[in-house]
Amino acid sequence: MFLADDSGLAEEQRMMRDTCRAFVDEHVTPFIRQHWQREWIMTPEERLPRKILEVADQIGIRTLGVPEEFGGTPLDPRTQVRTFALIAEELSRGDSGLADKLVQVWKVSTLLKNIAPRHLQEYWFPKIVADPTFFLAHCSTEPRGASDRWLGYDTPETAFQTKAVLKGDEWVINGRKQFVSNGYDAKLYVVYANSKPGAKNAGRHIELPHPARHAGVHHRPLQRDTGRTFHE
């Protein structure tokens, strides 16, 4: 549903909305209409042309969640969530799969901005900004549970099954995640893991940034959905 009355939007939001709308009309929709069969190609890099990602990067909608100091698109913190929703809605008008891919970048970038140590921000954000094909993935869902973990069931049974063990100054992660948007395309994962076996759910999990292309990481297509392919 599109807002019939945008009187509540700031001028900056209107400009971003209109820029994104033009991008969808000129680049996304024509491609989808001509190449809709690519949705079912199981090799992600063959589904979406790099040019679309480069233009999305040029107009600033790919890096909405990245701090301005690292080259991200500046947003008013008071209206940031609404801006995310506004741009995601425009992108979905052209292709829901593309919207989902970029939403993951915004979501994980915001998470890194809020909780990652400074040295990790200084390491990863410049890489994200420099590469139009740099996607991020939020690895939470497991075979035994997903977003229901945030409902407040504070029991050991609701905890993450993926384990994180600190060995020296490094975390060793073992487990399985599934239904991960951008699971194949991402170059950086944020992995939710259990660091206190035997404890209850609350306060026992940690979020760990992890390179996607790394020894010991294996992924495969899991299920195809409209415009998206999930991985584990």
Q: Rounded mean pLDDT of 117-141? A: 92
As for how many domains the chain has, the answer is 2
- 113 and 158 inside one domain: no
Rounded Cα distance between 135 and 30, Å, is: 23
Q: What is the mean pLDDT of residues 195-222?
A: 62
Q: The CATH number of the domain where 178 resides is what?
A: 2.40.110.10
Of the two residues 90 and 171, the one the predictor is more confident about is 90
Q: Domain check: are 112 and 142 in the same one?
A: no
Among 115, 132, 149, the domain-final residue is 132
List of long-range contacts for 47-52, beta carbons under 8 Å, 24+ apart:
47/97, 48/97, 48/98, 48/101, 50/132, 50/133, 51/27, 52/27, 52/28, 52/98
* Parallel, antiparallel or unpaired: strands 186-194 and 205-211: antiparallel
| 73, 124: one domain | yes
In sequence order, which residues have a C-beta less than 8 Å from that of residue 103 and are 6 or more positions away? 84, 88
Residue 118 lies in a domain: yes
pLDDT score, position 170: 84
User: Is residue 2 in a domain?
Assistant: no
Output the pLDDT for position 1: 44
Distance CA 69, CA 71 (A): 6
- What is the per-residue pLDDT for 146? 67
231, 220 Cβ separation under 8 angstroms: yes
d(CA 27, CA 57): 13
| 121/143 Cα distance (integer angstroms) | 30
**What span, in angstroms and rounded, lies between the C-alpha atoms of 69 and 67?**
5
Q: Which amino acid is at 187?
A: K
Is residue 71 predicted with pLDDT exceeding 90? yes
Q: What is the mean pLDDT of the chain?
A: 82
C-alpha–C-alpha distance, residues 220 and 232, integer Å: 6
pLDDT digits over 11-57, tens only? Answer: 999 999 999 999 999 999 999 999 888 777 767 677 788 899 999 99
pLDDT of 226 > 50? The answer is no
56 & 26 share domain: yes
CA–CA gap between residue 30 and residue 70 (Å, rounded) = 33
Supply the range of the domain harboring residue 32. 11-132
1 inside domain: no
pLDDT score for 41: 72
128 with 142, same domain: the answer is no
Query: Element (H or E) spanning 167, and its range?
Result: strand 163-167
Residue 4 pLDDT > 80, yes or no? no
